[in-house]
């Protein structure tokens, strides 16, 4: 009788664990959640010396999907390191892998923010302005 | 049988464990070795750059019954600069925390590769410092040292140190630069020139130092290639022929210990220059602060350098720079 109860309890525990839904993850190994929020909350731009090149905080328009950033006079735009702060669970495409060339001011770089549930995508334009004399 | 084990054997075993486990080992003063002995440590860290010292501490001792030390010497595989010396004093720290030196011999003499101290006091134990002034002839080579000492009975001991690689880098410290005056920097000569001197050596000028306080923009202290866009050389009149385009890249948090002489134990070594990738670097850097640095590659690709800003003075529009240079070709 005693052994029978133990086996039943074990089976119940196993079946409970076995029926649990697997947590969904995307191709990057990141958790897919229920959050639908999709925006950039902060933006930083670093120079070759990993110090900021921004003259003031970047202006982020979450409706127009633009990031306006003014950089110091003489900034080398070919070698900048962008840093995005996103809403919880969101991710960025393309990923930031190193220094990026922002020197083509007529064709601003674009980055897409993808929401936590991977259903909403918003493409932001990074508009760089160099401080003028 | 089981009852006996439980009643007697297990408690006895536990008691035995308790007694043996808590016994303290008695300390015994180590017996001194009855021999003439020596030992050595290298005290300096980082790359061995020509013009700097490699410092060692050489300890020698023998029991009083075996005589006294009569001489100590160091033989370097490459003769050091004239400034090379073996300390002839033994130091102790007094009650005020000051190191007081007691001369145990005559000041050392250099004969070729050998630096020697002859003892004039009865000495049985001493630690002598050895300062090897790295010569330029050793750059890119390896240097070894043989420390040895002689006792009054004719006994000798020796200790080998090395090999130590000597860097290929050159170094120059504390060059004053001033806006509109001594502002032409030559990496080839590792020197700063005035306009008149720059006119005489136009092919050697790699960078121009300038300071500008322009309303509305941040310019400050800058290192600009003479061949850079004139926009970055406002109101600068370049001597004829001064037009090189030098690659430069601003760096922060790289306070090389040799150049900065601050508490940060960071060293730039040959490998850093060898692996440096200056592709796509600009030809100017603006807004340099004190303790910032700049990687440099000359237009002909012959030299790579690191220029460190030791001190900047906004009011006097001047700065003090130090430089490490590596020859690529």
CATH of the domain at A77: 2.60.40.2340
**Residue A98 touches chain B, beta carbons under 8 Å:** no
Predicted TM-score of the model (pTM): 0.83
Task: Flag whether A10 is in a domain.
Answer: no
Residue A9 included in any domain: no
Q: What's the domain range around A39?
A: 23-130
Under DSSP, is residue B172 helix (H, G, I), strand (E, B) or coil?
A: strand
CB contact under 8 A, A49 and B250: yes
**A12 found inside a domain:** no
Residue among B38, B55, B37 nearest B46 (CA): B55
A79 near B CB under 8 A = yes
CB atoms A55 and B253 under 8 Å: no
Q: pLDDT tens digit string along A17-54?
A: 555 567 799 999 999 999 999 999 999 999 999 999 99
Residue A81 CA to residue A46 CA, distance in Å, equals: 5
Reported ipTM: 0.78
Domain assignment present for residue A2? The answer is no
Instruction: Over range B258-269, report the average pLDDT.
Output: 94
Q: A38 with A124: CB under 8 angstroms?
A: no
Contact A72 B217 (CB under 8 A): yes
Out of B16-30, B99-113, B187-201, B231-245, least confident range:
B16-30
In the prediction, which pLDDT does A19 show? 54
On chain A, the residues whose CB falls within 8 A of the CB of B232 are 74
Looking at residue A42, its pLDDT comes to 97
Residues of chain B in contact with residue A48, where contact means CB-CB under 8 angstroms, are 249-251, 281
pLDDT value for B2: 58
- Cross-chain residue pair A47–B287, CB shorter than 8 Å: no
Instruction: Write down the pLDDT at residue B11.
Output: 72
Q: Read off the pLDDT band of B31 (50, 70, 90).
A: confident
Chain A, nearest residue to B214 by Cα: A133
A15 falls within a domain: no
Give the minimum alpha-carbon distance from A83 to chain B in angstroms, rounded to a whole number.
Answer: 18
pLDDT at B55 over 70: yes
- Residues of A within 8 A of B251 (CB-CB) are 48-49
Please list the alpha-helical segments (H only) found in chain B.
Answer: 2-4, 10-21, 195-200, 257-260, 270-275
DSSP-based three-state secondary structure for A109: strand
What is the distance in angstroms between the Cα of B306 and the nearest Cα belonging to chain A? 14
Please return the burial class of B215, using the count of CB atoms within 10 Å of its CB with bins 0-12, 13-18 and 19+: exposed
On the question of pLDDT at A103 being above 70, the answer is yes
In a domain, A54, yes or no: yes
Considering only CB atoms, A49 lies closest to which of B216, B252, B280, namely: B252
**pLDDT score, position B33:** 84
Could you give all domains of chain B from N- to C-terminal order, each with its CATH number?
Answer: 37-166 (2.60.40.3550), 169-327 (no CATH)
Q: Give the residue from B190, B197, B179, B271 showing the smallest Cα distance to B239.
A: B197
B165 pLDDT above the threshold of 70:
yes
- Structural domains in chain A (count): 1
Tokens 């720079």: give the residue: B321
Q: Is the pLDDT of residue B190 over 60?
A: yes
Give the pairing type, strands B69-76 and B142-151: antiparallel
The torsion defined by the Cα of A42, A75, B289 and B279, in degrees rounded to 10, comes to 110
Task: Please list every residue in chain B whose beta carbon sits closer than 8 Å to the beta carbon of residue A131.
Answer: 216-218
């Amino acid at each position: 009788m005693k052994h029978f109860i133990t086996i039943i309890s074990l089976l119940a525990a196993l079946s409970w664990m076995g029926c649990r839904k697997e947590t969904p993850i995307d191709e990057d190994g990141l958790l897919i959640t229920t959050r639908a929020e999709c925006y950039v909350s902060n933006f930083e731009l670093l120079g070759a010396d990993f110090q900021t090149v921004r003259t003031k905080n970047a202006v982020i328009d979450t409706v127009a999907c633009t990031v306006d950033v003014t950089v110091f006079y003489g900034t080398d735009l070919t070698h900048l390191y962008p840093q995005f702060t996103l809403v919880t669970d969101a991710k960025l495409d393309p990923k930031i892998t190193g220094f990026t060339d922002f020197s083509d001011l007529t064709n601003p770089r674009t980055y897409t923010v993808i929401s936590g549930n991977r259903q909403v995508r918003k493409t932001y334009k990074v508009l760089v302005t160099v401080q003028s004399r | 049988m089981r009852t006996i084990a439980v009643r007697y054997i297990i408690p006895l075993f536990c008691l035995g464990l308790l007694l043996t486990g808590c016994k303290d080992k008695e300390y015994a003063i180590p017996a001194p070795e009855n021999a003439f002995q020596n030992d050595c440590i290298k005290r300096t860290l980082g790359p061995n750059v020509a013009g700097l010292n490699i410092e060692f501490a050489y300890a020698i001792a023998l029991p009083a019954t075996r005589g006294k030390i009569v001489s100590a010497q160091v033989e370097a595989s490459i003769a050091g600069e004239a400034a090379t010396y073996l300390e002839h004093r033994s130091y102790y720290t007094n009650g005020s925390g000051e190191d007081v030196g007691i001369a145990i011999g005559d000041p050392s003499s250099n004969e070729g590769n050998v630096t020697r101290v002859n003892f004039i006091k009865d000495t049985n134990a001493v630690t002598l410092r050895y300062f090897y002034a790295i010569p330029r002839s050793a750059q890119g080579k390896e240097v070894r040292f043989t420390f040895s000492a002689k006792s009054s009975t004719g006994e000798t001991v020796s200790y080998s140190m090395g090999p130590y690689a000597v860097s290929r880098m050159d170094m120059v410290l504390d060059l004053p630069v001033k806006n509109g005056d001594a502002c032409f920097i030559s990496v080839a000569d590792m020197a700063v020139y005035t306009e008149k001197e720059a006119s005489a050596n136009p092919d050697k000028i790699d960078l121009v130092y300038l300071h500008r306080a322009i309303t509305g923009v941040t310019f400050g202290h800058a290192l600009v290639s003479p061949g850079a866009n004139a926009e970055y050389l406002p109101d600068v009149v370049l001597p004829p022929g001064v037009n090189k385009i030098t690659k430069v890249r601003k760096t922060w948090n790289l306070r090389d210990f040799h150049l900065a002489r601050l508490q940060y134990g960071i060293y730039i070594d040959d490998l850093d220059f060898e692996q440096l990738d200056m592709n796509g670097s600009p030809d100017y850097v603006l807004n340099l602060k004190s303790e910032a640095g700049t990687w440099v590659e000359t237009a002909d690709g012959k030299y790579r350098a690191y220029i460190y800003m030791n001190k900047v003075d906004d009011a006097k529009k001047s700065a003090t720079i130090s430089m490490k240079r590596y020859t690529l070709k």
